[in-house]
Each structure stands twice: as C-alpha cells, then as structure tokens.
Amino acid sequence: KKVDLSGFSDPTHLEEILLYVDAIAPANTAAKASVDIALHDLAGKIIGAPWHRMYGLNKTNVPDTTFTIGIDSDEVVREKTREALGRFNILKIKVGGPDDKRMIEAIRSVTDLPLAVDANQGWKERSEALDMIFWMRERGVVMVEQPMPKSDLDSIARLTEESPLPIFADESVQRLADVERLKGVFSGINIKLMKCTGMHEAWKMRTLAQALGMKVMMGCMTETSCAISAASQIYPGMDFADLDGALLIGNDCFDGAKLENGKMIASDLPGIGVLPIFTLPVPQRGG
C-alpha cells in the first residue's frame, strides 16, 4: 500500500522505479520482489518479448535444477528419491546435522545421481566441515551450500581454499552489496529473487559475480510458478540451479516455466512467461 507509481510515466523505466521502491522501507525484500516481477512482466509485454531474449540468453542453455530431499527416516528418503527418478538429474540434500551420512547412504541405496548439499550453516568447525566434504565427494556430491555460520567468513574462506568441491554462499549473500566482499571467500553465490528484491538486482548480482570469476546459482524459496518463471528468465548460462519451489506446493496458481528433462525451461510468452490458472481477485486499495 506504500507503493505509489503514479509519478512515473513509463513502466519500462525499471532502474528509476525500482530505486524508488527499494527506498520505501528497509528489508521487505519479498514484497519488493513482487513489484519488481510485476513490472518486468508488464515491461516485457509492452516490448513484446520474454526477458531471456532481452537478456540475450539461450533459454535451453541451463543447468539441471535440483530436487530437494528433506531430512527424514531412511524409508521416506528412499521413497522420495524413487519418486524423483526419471524427472530430475540431480538431487539436493539438507545436511548439517547428525543424520548427514545416514541420509546420503539412504539415497545411495536407490540411485547414483549427483547430489548437491545445503548445510544451512550447520557445521560449526572448519575441520568437521572439511572432513564431511571429502567424505561426501567420494559419494557423488558435487557442490556445497553454506557449510558454516554466515558471519564466519575467515573460516569459510579457508574451507573454500581446501575444499575439493565448490562452496556456495546462501545465507551469507542477500543482495548486490554482499557480492564483492565474498570474492575469495566462496566459490560462488546463490541468488534468490525473494532475498535480493527481484529480477533487476538478481541480474546485477549475476553479472558482477561472473565478472569477479565466481560461479552463480539460481535458487528459490517455496514459491509459485510466478516467481519460478521469473527466475527461469535469468538462469540460462549459470552453473547450478535449485528451482523446484513450485513443484513442492499443491496450490500453484500460475502456469509458466516447465520442467523438461530435469531442467526448468522458460516460456516464450512476453514478460516473465506466466498465465494465471484461475482468475485472481483484484485487491482493493485500503481494503
């Protein structure tokens, strides 16, 4: 309700408009992302092209998206793994606790697909993290997200230097201002639209990280196909992706990017490439 765009004459002036939106209030990054995504969709429709074309990206040149297997009993883990077979080419495992090895061994009893792991800051000691990473590499793990507490950058930098696997920042990176200080600390960054205020800043983060020689990953929260489709416009040419958010919900209200052979493929519709599955109510100002 604080957003008033009546002072802007052209919705394609994204830099100017989103600078204003970002200044309205601190934080609230997901709310700002919703405005950003809506503006990108509108601008794309006015121009008549999907954003992946305007970015100059090949929408099929994308990494496989991971599919997340949550921490659970061995039986449930095996069942969830079997359900993913044939649809996904890489799985993502939540680790960082006492069940790490058990979880991976349970998955390995079902499949030899490559694995990505997200420790969610769970390993507190660098030596512990390094031992786990070497153990995991022998079992087909190919990348590690946020192995240690987000503020312990010195330990993470040493871990990255010694690690046989790439180490990606998640909680340690929120927005564009965080990227440059993480060079030499992490191998790469995980960009999420809901954390960085949307597509406009995500594109800047991607461009800066790659210019600094860092790897880039497109991530997500639990989101509808609206946000996943927006992310799918940006992620061609990235190194990793975790865009399964809309596949984990039962009430998706949009139709957009599609899972094809383990990859999220953007639509060619103008804008972010989504259509509502059903008519959404129009919010009333002040209601």
Q: What is the pLDDT tens value at each position of the chain, 287 positions in all?
A: 899 999 999 999 999 999 999 999 999 999 999 999 999 999 999 999 999 999 999 999 999 999 999 888 999 999 999 999 999 999 999 998 888 999 999 999 999 999 999 999 999 999 999 999 999 999 999 999 999 999 999 999 999 999 999 999 999 999 999 999 999 999 999 999 999 999 999 999 999 999 999 999 999 999 999 999 999 999 999 999 999 999 989 999 999 999 999 999 999 999 999 999 977 667 776 54
Q: How far apart are CA 191 and CA 175, in angstroms?
A: 8
pLDDT of residue 192: 98
| Amino acid, single-letter form, for residue 32 | K
Contacts of 106 (CB under 8 A, 6+ apart): 74, 77, 78, 81
Q: Are 65 and 88 in contact (CB under 8 A)?
A: yes
Provide the token pair at 22: 């970002």
Please give the domain boundaries of the chain with CATH numbers for all domains.
Answer: 54-275 (3.20.20.120)
Q: How far apart are CA 200 and CA 79, in angstroms?
A: 39
Beta strands in the chain (DSSP E): 67-69, 91-94, 115-118, 141-145, 167-169, 188-191, 215-218, 240-241, 254-255, 258-260, 263-265, 275-276
Provide the token pair at 284: 């009333």
Q: How far apart are CA 182 and CA 187, in angstroms?
A: 9
pLDDT of residue 99: 87
Q: For residues 166-185, b (16+ Cβ closer than 10 Å) or e, as one string?
A: bbbbbebbbbbebbeebeeb
Q: Please tell me whether the overall predicted TM-score, pTM, comes out greater than 0.85 for this model.
A: yes
187 φ, ψ (degrees, to nearest 5):
-75, -30
